[in-house]
Amino acid sequence: MLAYPHAHLVVVGDDRITSQRLPSLLAGAGYQNIAYFSDTASALVTLAKTLPDLIVLDLDVLGARGVKLMKQLQQQWHDAMPPVLVLVDPSTPRYRQEALFYGALGVLSQPVNERELCQRVHNILQHHYRGKQERERSYELQTLVEARTAELKARSLQDPVTGLPNRRAILHHLSRRLVAQTSLGIFFMRVRQLNDIARLHGYAVSDALMCGLAAQLESSAVAQGGFLGAWSSEDFLLIKPLPLERWQSCGERLVRLMNGPMPVGDLMLDVLVDIGISHSSDEHDSAETLIRHAVMALPLGRDMPRLLRYRSSMTAQFLYRNRLRLALKDAPQQGQLALYFQPKIELGTGLIVGAEALLRWTHPEMGPVSPSDFIPVAEQTDAINVLGHWVVEAAIMSLAQWLEMGALTDAFVLAINVSGQQLMQTDFSDQLLETLQLAQVPAHRLQVEVTESALMGDVELARDQLIRLNHNGVTSAIDDFGTGYSSLAYLKHLPVSVLKIDRSFIMEIEHNPQDQRLAQTVVNMAHNFGCQVVAEGIENEAQAQLLAAMGCELGQGFYYARPMPADEFMAFCQHWVRQPAALKPA
């Protein structure tokens, strides 16, 4: 059976024998698609439009015209030139050599043997179709490779979670924009506590949150005309053409857009986003430097505003924080830490009924380091757990020593501050109770103070920890009460026995009626839930009298004493003269 009956064959010659015999032989062999041209000019016109599978060229009659046709075909089609089988007179070897030079795949001598002709045609077609198939497969493979390469290139520039341009794409875009345009605002947005959300609810929820925020940003008017990307798993970056005087208003719009409750599935997550800004009019060396400046401007600490713009002084501050981070690792082992104690006074009687243990750090080169400097740095690393563990052991050791000395009244309770990271350690309560037991300190002598922000992670885990402590006698207090989002929810679900009024409500309480109303509300709320109230930050007698009249039980602040080392605190307690606050009407 003929292998290639539908192959397109072209026969070129100019005599009757060629025109009759060759097509007839090929048709008799089973080939069904044969075209004949009696001159090279008409053949060239047709071959310029459609390429056959094989050209049979009778050089015996065409001579130099046939060689010229091969030359023209090769110049026009190059590697795509179809295979050529030439028929030559043995007496004219020059045409044979020229035909081979211009790419003939087969040469047959006249007169042609029918069987040899058909076999040569079959062999050449077989070679042609195999090559054609290989070229097609190669083309398909090349197409697939190019498509896959384009896909991988696109993915290499795309964040896998949000689909936004990734860090590479951001840097490329910003570098190009800086060449063409200098007035650019860089808004670096970091989602707080995303890792806590992932640990609490799973990474599917944290990914869904980031996708939701990305969609919210993309559709917002404030992002229009800008380039939005995902710098990391918890960071967005917006590059926006913007004059310097408009960065503040644009940043404030982003703060309003990004912060607040956001539904994710069946959950309602409270989203907190910090924004650092740099501007291309600032001094910078590159896109990387400009973005680094925006990162440096990110607010640190819960008391800072959500939005800050880069200033050159921030570089020195960043280096200082980095130095603190490195130095904190060795501080506990090198004896650089100490506890200072600030007394708590019962406002009605003037008795010292407790104290708050406050961590202090003195570095051999930097000297005393402010807690407002090193605590936020520690909270960004595991150092806060190391410091927290040290505070627990040091506070309990101090209690043990004072009890052995007989220096404490029956009502004395020592409060220690506990971070959110400590509460997220599942063995925190067990370790604390074990330390109390080993030191032979009654559990009711110790109180843990937690801020509302510390409870914004895994509330259930925090609740379990505090309940276990409470069942064993360790009381709990909420520090800075009223500054968070869910104060009432904490009172309802957590075993809290003390609320501390934030010092921001106390600073001007004797002059500010609104602060008075807020403080009175906290006192009333605490009493309704069976809690005591501690007012911190009392600085004068008028404040103490006003708070006592409101029903606030305890107070602490510079009016009574500054935080002091253990030996000074003991001496202070021994020489303390009771100073009850006069109960003047509020």
Q: Over the stretch 130-185, which tens digit does the pLDDT of each residue have?
A: 888 888 888 888 888 888 877 777 778 899 999 999 999 999 999 988 887 668 89
Task: Give the Cβ contact number of residue 368 at 10 Å.
Answer: 10
> What value does the mean pLDDT take over residues 458-476?
89
CA distances from 423 to 184, 418, 429, 520 (A): 42, 7, 8, 30
> What value does the mean pLDDT take over residues 510-529?
91
Q: Which CATH class is domain 8-136?
A: alpha beta
In the chain, the percentage of residues whose pLDDT exceeds 90 is: 45
Rounded distance between C-alpha atoms, residue 88 and residue 66, angstroms: 11
At 374-388, the pLDDT tens digits run 998 898 788 999 999
Confidence class for position 456, pLDDT limits 50, 70, 90: low
Specify the higher pLDDT residue, 246 or 339: 339
Q: Per-residue pLDDT for 485 more than 50?
A: no
Running DSSP on this structure, what letter comes out for residue 580?
A: P
Q: End-to-end CA distance of the chain: give it in Å, rounded.
A: 114
Confidence class for position 489, pLDDT limits 50, 70, 90: low
> What value does the mean pLDDT take over residues 261-279?
89
User: What SS3 class is residue 142?
Assistant: helix
Contact 38, 14 (CB under 8 A): yes
Report domain extents, the chain.
Answer: 8-136, 167-311, 324-575
Exposed/middle/buried for residue 542 (C-beta within 10 Å: 0-12, 13-18, 19+): middle
The per-residue pLDDT for 584 is 42
Strand order in the sheet with 227-232: 227-232, 235-241, 184-191, 273-279, 307-309
Rounded distance between C-alpha atoms, residue 296 and residue 322, angstroms: 11
Q: Per-residue pLDDT for 563 more than 60?
A: yes
The CATH number of domain 167-311, selected from 3.40.190.10, 3.30.70.270, 3.40.50.150, 3.40.50.300: 3.30.70.270
Looking up tokens 């609810």, which residue turns up?
Answer: 201
The per-residue pLDDT for 429 is 95
CA distances from 540 to 90, 279, 521, 561 (A): 126, 45, 21, 11
The CATH classification number of 324-575 equals 3.20.20.450
Q: Per-residue pLDDT for 332 more than 90?
A: yes
> What value does the mean pLDDT take over residues 277-287?
76
The per-residue pLDDT for 473 is 96
At 61-90, the pLDDT tens digits run 788 888 888 888 888 888 888 899 988 888
The per-residue pLDDT for 284 is 58
> What value does the mean pLDDT take over residues 302-321?
80
pTM: 0.63
**Vertex 295, ends 294 and 298: CA angle to 5°?**
95
Q: Per-residue pLDDT for 344 more than 80?
A: yes
CA distances from 172 to 197, 318, 345, 559 (A): 31, 26, 61, 58
In the chain, the percentage of residues whose pLDDT exceeds 70 is: 93
User: What SS3 class is residue 448?
Assistant: strand
* Encoded tokens for 404: 């052995």
DSSP string, 427-440: THHHHHHHHHHHHT
Specify the higher pLDDT residue, 146 or 283: 146
At 386-416, the pLDDT tens digits run 999 999 999 999 999 999 999 999 999 999 9
Looking up tokens 């679900």, which residue turns up?
Answer: 493
Fold matches, 167-311 and 324-575: no
